[in-house]
Structure formats: structure tokens, C-alpha cells
Amino acid sequence: MPFADAIRDMAWPDSFRCVIRQQIDEVRQEVDWRAALPRLTEVDQDTSCKVQQQYEENPYPRWVKPSLVPAPLALEDRLRTQIPHARFRPMRTSGSVDVLIAGCGSGRHPTESASLYSNARVLAIDLSASSLAYAMRKSHEIGLRNVEYAQADILRLSILNRRFDLIESVGVLHHLEDPEAGWRSLLQLLRPGGFMLVGLYSEIARSPVVAARQFIVHQGFPATPQGIRECRAVIMGADCPEALGQLAAFGDFYGLSACRDLLFHVQEHRTTLPAIAALLDGLSLDFVGLHVEPDVLRRFRTRFAEDDSVHDLHLWHKFETENPNTFVGMYQFWVQKRCA
């Protein structure tokens, strides 16, 4: 607005000054960070461009404060704390750990990962310059110095002359036109014996979202602020189909950018645990373990008591079929690249 400077320079109480900082000062800071943003690859494929445009308009997630994280640990020690039943081969490292966050969004993920691992050097990439500018501003604000940000397309990363001990791609591959091609592209950058943390949508747990996406297409709601608000009003109405009522349990349903990511995404794939098991073998990856809450693990072990059952994705599929909301967020699991 043309009068933004006049508003900014007026005397305001502290409570309103916070709004001025958020709506004017921080936005201008992100413009400056965007101008300094390195670009590692072109973003020119059709689906990549569509996904990029969505997140340029609606960076996600919009976060204010970083999550509390425990004291940093060596990579393998951190893995054991997250997955007590993890099964993997020790990896030889020089003491530091090179981490790639493939699809970092607005920066909450890399700020957490940079603090989780001892001596971590993090490269965080994303398609969206708006998301990256937000991430860079927040990292500078909290004094984070071991994260490097850059704009890049996962499908173009084969040109990158760098290798990593750990690659994390959570909630990203399923937004590519070909998730397997993106996964293979990332594996070219992973050192032998290196680890990946992957997050993918569950076909079973995502059924309310699938129903909502079909409803949105049928009703013709556009992916605009007004369209999203009108859609939510209908879904929360008394005459809403029962299958859509479960959406009220999704936190992302209530924020504009978050709801667009949840229900109006331009590209979404879903999968099953047996499909993941088959894909891992073709990618020369060993399954390390699923990241689940302790209560879920306890109930699984009660259902399948055999010692090695926790590493059997087909048994986990049976468990999920019996408990459809187990992976309502997404599957998150660790894998290890086989050595030649």
C-alpha cells in the first residue's frame, strides 16, 4: 500500500508495533533475502513450475518460533533415539555430517535438523523463492549459521557436485510428477552407506482428503482465498457429506496456506507400505525403520509379537488396514543406501 511508510513511522503501542513488524518490516526483509538467493538449477518442468507457483503464492508452513529440540547428537545416535529398533550398518564419517534437506519449504524443517545432529552442515533447497526467503529471514533471526539455502528442482540435482551423509525429504516426493524419478535423483547425491529420511502420503489414511479433493472438483471451488474459504464453510456445514467430516481433525484445515496444501494441491501421489517395500529393493535401499509414536509401536508389538516383525512393512500394512488413522500425517521412515 502506498501509505505503508507513513503507517510504519507513526507512534504505536507495542502491541500494534508487532503487527507493523510482521506486515511491513519482515516482508521487506524477505524481499532483500530473495534478491540474494542462490539458484542451483533451472525450474522449467511443467509440474515443477505449477508446484513452485503454488508455494510462491502460499509459502507453507508459516511458522513463528522454532520447535524445541534436544541437544545435538551424532547422526547414528540420533537415529537410535528416534527409532529404538533401528537396524543399520555403521557409517564411516569424518566427524561432521553433510545433510541435504530436499524440499525445505519455509525453513522449519532445516532449522530443526541443523540442531539435531552434531557438526551438521546443511544444504536446504526448495522450488519456491518466497518460501526460501521466509526461511532465510527466520534462520538469520534465530542466529542459525550452519544452514545454506538455495533454489533448485530435485529432478535437476544430478548436476550438483556434492555428496551427503544424510538426505531428508519429508512431504516432498509425492508432489513430483514422478516420485520415483525424484528419489533416484536424490540417491545420486547420497554417499554409499548414507541415510535417507523420507515422508510419503498414505493411501489408506489419506482417504478423507481424497474424498474432499473429489468434492472440490465436483463443486468447482477454485484454489483462491475466496474459493478455499467457501469450500471450508460448506465442509463445516450441517449438510456436508459424512466422509468429509473427518477433515476437522486436520490442523492444516484451518489455515489458508495450509488448507491449500492439504486439499487444493496441484500435484499429489499416495502410496502403500507394500509398494514402498517393493520400491526400496529396486532402489538398492535397506529399510531401517518406521518413525512412529511409542504407543503405536507398543500396539503393533502386541499385535505382531515376533522379534523381527517391526521391520516387516507387510505386517505394518496389515496393522494400518486395521487402524486406518495410524499414518494420518504421512509415512516417515529411514532407509540406508547399500554399499557397492
Residue-wise pLDDT for 109-128, tens only, equals: 999 999 999 999 999 999 99
When mean pLDDT is compared across 44-58, 59-73, 165-179, the lowest value belongs to 59-73
What value does the mean pLDDT take over residues 21-39? Answer: 93
Per-residue b or e along 126-146, where b marks 16 or more CB atoms closer than 10 Å to that residue's CB: bbbbbbbbbbbbbbeeeebee
Instruction: Please check the confidence at residue 42 and state whether its pLDDT lies above 90.
Output: yes
Give per-residue pLDDT as tens, 274-289.
999 999 999 999 999 9
> Is the per-residue pLDDT at 107 higher than 90?
yes
Residue 243's pLDDT is 76
Instruction: Identify residue 329 by its one-letter amino acid code.
Output: G
pLDDT of residue 61: 87
The stretch 214-226 carries a mean pLDDT of: 95
pTM of the model: 0.94
What pLDDT sits at residue 65?
86
Cβ(193)–Cβ(142) under 8 Å? no
Q: State the span(s) of the chain assigned CATH 3.40.50.150.
A: 75-203+278-292+328-337
The answer to whether the peptide bond before residue 225 is cis (omega within 30 degrees of 0) is no
Instruction: Select from 28, 314, 47, 29 the least CA-distant residue to 155.
Output: 47
Question: What local confidence, expressed as pLDDT, does residue 126 receive?
Answer: 97
Confidence of residue 220 (pLDDT cuts 50, 70, 90): very high
- CATH number corresponding to 75-203+278-292+328-337: 3.40.50.150
Q: pLDDT at residue 68 above 90?
A: no
pLDDT at residue 155, as a whole number = 95
CA distance 14 to 20: 10
Which cell numbers in the block locate residue 97? 555430517
What number is the average pLDDT over the span 197-204?
97
Question: What's the whole-number average pLDDT of the chain?
Answer: 93
Q: How far is residue 77's CA from residue 192's CA, in Å, rounded to a whole number?
A: 19
pLDDT of residue 245: 81
d(CA 161, CA 159): 6
Confidence of residue 249 (pLDDT cuts 50, 70, 90): confident
Position 57 scores a pLDDT of: 94
Q: Identify the pLDDT of residue 238.
A: 75
Contact of 99 with 74, CB cutoff 8 Å = no
pLDDT above 70 coverage of the chain, percent: 99
Q: What is the pLDDT of residues 276-333, one digit of tens each?
A: 999 999 999 999 999 999 999 999 999 999 889 999 999 999 999 999 999 998 999 9
pLDDT of residue 146: 94
Biggest CA pair distance of the chain: 69
